[in-house]
Chains A and B, each alone.
Chain A
């Protein structure tokens, strides 16, 4: 009985959190006229007639493929670059002995608490100076090195037995061979966690692309949906369809990496 009650309350709570997503998904299948009219009732969660009309509209009205490519390209580049750079940095901090290591690591940790909003303007000056505005690179480079990712890798590497590396060194591997052939393959959960966290954060990036891009050519999805929202005619069904198309890749990534992600979160001791 206790378990049933527990299950029901869990279901109710998760419904509360899921409601907006369901509302968006179901709304995206409804004729535009029904979306707002049914919004205040239970019918919001039930389509009388379902069609993919709204999706076709989105693709007809804006270059969605372009935005999707931009978002994917930028996010994947940040994730890939970030995995390489941050894992190497985390490894260096956790294992290599060098002068100033502790000070440098303290600086990295301190960087975690500085939000992008705080440094957005000086950063904007800097990239303008470099002539990087309206490019992919300006949306990628500033986000590759990430203090939190470094810290995640650092804690994970600390937990790996030191003997693995010592053994590799005696077996003839240098630092890079040791890292890529021995350490990295044994730290897949950490890589998955960082990949998924970075992907989720960057997929929704809005402020920075808004500041540094002006044309459709390099703009990612979050900017595109904001623009789309203000593009007449205002059709909620289309906006919901856009939203679903924007969220789908994130959900896909999470499903693929979920097993690793959970292990990584457990192993690195981070909390969600």
Chain B
């Protein structure tokens, strides 16, 4: 059964632009935040909505919370349409980016507030507040006010206030973005653990792909109001359905080379500049779709880890490149390079920290075409 379902949601905003030379006359134009947005989140699932700033991900979350109204479409929570219901009747809880703790209340009062609003008995409120405080390690902080807490503690109080109600859906709007890097990783783990324990359907919005990949049971990628792909993290990484997803996920993103499939007898070869790359026999079955693109320009996508300096004396299937720069990250190196024959675009490969070519030097690299992904010129993945 679905925990949450978005059906054909459309949402736009009036954008007021002052006409030039005057402050009074304002033209209104509609900017679409979400277009034909369809997403199904299973009950108990941890879904992460990821995309660049302004892609509509927070709008999707706020629509589900009832803080904004959709232009058209429907939203279901556990099978029941909620579009006519105000936020307080949707049984959702939300953690805001700035936590939105009530500054004048103690931690205990903050946790108790949603329960008081639901007119629970005092004893039940007390029991649930204690339970939540213990679960989140807040028991010693109950008498403090938000202003007396550290960032991480405030974050946990915000989580507690959302959890204490035992809602049907848990919404999180970039809840880690105000924390420093170390704390972010720690709390990321805590959130994942907490969600597993409580089993509450969760929609988590972030622009940070590392959060998306580590937290989500599934990840939905959104760009310019259009849902690009929904899949498990490894599926998104290995099989991006379009160029946007390929470039957005992974750090750094996928390298995209302009290539042409050519038929040189038996095998299907890929022409990249003046080099000819041969698809391995065992991966031919994955790329039968390429036959419809023979001698047409397409794109070859290769993750930085699918490239390595050529270790052999044999230069077949390798690319001559010039090293532009090197980023040493300690446990690995990122080597930026450009094609010798076509230096317009910069690419990157990931190597062990031992490999350190000099910037400016020319080397041969060997792409692992087992990991190749092909895209047509309109950006869509070419599938069998």
A164 contact from B67, B97, B100, B161, Cβ within 8 A? B100
B102 near A177 with CB under 8 A, answer: no
Chain B, Cβ-Cβ closest to A172: B117
Residue from A167, A174, A182, A185 having most chain B Cβ neighbours under 10 A: A167
User: Which residues of A sit under 8 angstroms from B41, Cβ to Cβ?
Assistant: none
Rounded to whole angstroms, the CA-CA distance of A185 and B113 in the bound complex is 14
Q: Which residue of B lies closest to A171 (CB)?
A: B114
Docked-complex contact A186 and B103, CB < 8 angstroms: yes
Query: Is residue B49 within 8 Å, beta carbon to beta carbon, of the partner chain?
Result: no
CB-defined contacts of B113 to chain A, threshold 8 Å:
168, 171, 173, 181
Does the CB pair A169–B88 fall under 8 Å? yes
Q: Of A161, A169, A174, A186, which contacts B67 at CB under 8 A?
A: A169
A166-B67, A167-B94 are known contacts. Are A172 and B118 too (CB-CB below 8 A)? yes
Q: Does B4 contact A (CB under 8 A)?
A: no
Does the CB pair B98–A170 fall under 8 Å? no
Q: Which residues of the other chain, A, contact B102 by a CB distance below 8 angstroms?
A: 164, 167-168, 182, 186
A117, CB-defined interface residue at 8 Å: no
Partner of B88, one of A161, A163, A174, A181: A174
**CB nearest neighbor in A for B101:** A167
Query: CA separation between A166 and B117, bound complex, in Å?
Result: 14
Task: Check if B92 is an interface residue, CB within 8 A of chain A.
Answer: yes
Q: A170-B92, A173-B117 known; A186 and B87 CB under 8 Å?
A: no
Q: Is the CB of A169 within 8 A of B86?
A: yes
A164 / chain B contacts, CB cutoff of 8 Å: 100, 102
CB-CB under 8 A for A163 and B117, given A169-B87, A186-B103 = no
Question: Which chain A residues lie closer than 8 Å to B165 at the CB level?
Answer: 171
Instruction: Tell me the complex Cα distance, A171–B89, Å.
Output: 10
The residues of B that contact A167 with a CB separation of less than 8 Å are 94, 96, 100, 102
Whether A171 and B104, one on each chain, are in contact in the complex, defined by CB atoms closer than 8 angstroms, is no
Among candidates B66, B67, B88, residue contacting A171 with C-beta atoms closer than 8 Å: B88
A169's closest neighbor in chain B, by CB? B87
User: Smallest CB-CB separation from B92: which chain A residue?
Assistant: A170
Cβ contact within 8 Å between A172 and B96: no
Nearest residue, chain B, Cβ from A165: B100
State which of A161, A171, A172, A186 has its C-beta within 8 Å of the C-beta of B98.
A161
Task: Report if B290 contacts A (CB, 8 A).
Answer: no
B221 contacts A by Cβ under 8 Å:
no
Interface assignment of B93: CB less than 8 Å from any CB of chain A? yes
The distance from the CB of B21 to the nearest CB of chain A, in whole angstroms, is 22
B60 at the interface (CB under 8 A from A): no
CA–CA, A161 to B102, complex, Å?
11
Q: Are A170 and B104 in contact (CB under 8 A)?
A: no
* Contact A185 to B104, CB < 8 A, known contacts A170-B65, A170-B93: yes
Task: Chain B residues near A174: list those with CB within 8 A.
Answer: 88
Distance of A161 Cα from B146 Cα, bound (Å): 15
Whether A172 pairs with B114 at a CB distance below 8 angstroms is yes
Q: Give min CB distance, A192 to chain B, whole Å.
A: 15
Pairwise interchain contact A171-B161, C-beta atoms closer than 8 A:
yes
CB distance from A31 to the nearest CB of B (A): 53
> Which residue from B67, B88, B93, B161 sits with its C-beta under 8 Å from A173?
B88
Residues of B within 8 A of A166 (CB): 65, 67, 87, 94, 96, 100
Q: B93: which A residues are within 8 A, CB to CB?
A: 170-171
**Chain A residues, CB < 8 A from B104:** 185-186
A146 to B235, CA, bound (A): 62
Tell whether, in the assembled complex, residue B87 and residue A170 are in contact, meaning their CB atoms are under 8 Å apart: yes
- A166–B96 Cα distance when bound, in Å, is 9
Q: Report the Cα distance A167→B161, complex, angstroms.
A: 10
Chain B residues within 8 Å of A182, by CB: 102
CA distance A141 to B114 in the complex (A): 37
Instruction: Using CB atoms, name the residue of chain A closest to B93.
Output: A170
Q: Once the chains bind, are A163 and B114 in contact (CB under 8 Å)?
A: no
Minimum CB–CB distance from A99 to chain B (whole Å) comes to 15
Q: Which chain A residues have a beta carbon within 8 Å of chain B's beta carbons?
A: 161, 163-164, 166-174, 177, 181-182, 185-186
> Could you list 5 further interchain pairs (A-B, Cβ under 8 angstroms) beyond the known A170-B93, A172-B88, A177-B117?
A166-B67, A166-B100, A168-B113, A169-B67, A171-B88
Residue ranges of B at the interface with A (Cβ–Cβ < 8 Å): 65-67, 86-88, 92-94, 96-98, 100, 102-104, 113-114, 117-118, 161, 165
Q: List 16 A-B contacts (CB under 8 A).
A: A163-B96, A163-B97, A166-B65, A166-B87, A167-B94, A169-B67, A170-B65, A170-B67, A170-B92, A171-B93, A171-B165, A172-B88, A173-B117, A177-B117, A181-B113, A185-B104
Q: Which 3 A-B pairs have the closest CB atoms?
A: A172-B117, A163-B100, A171-B114
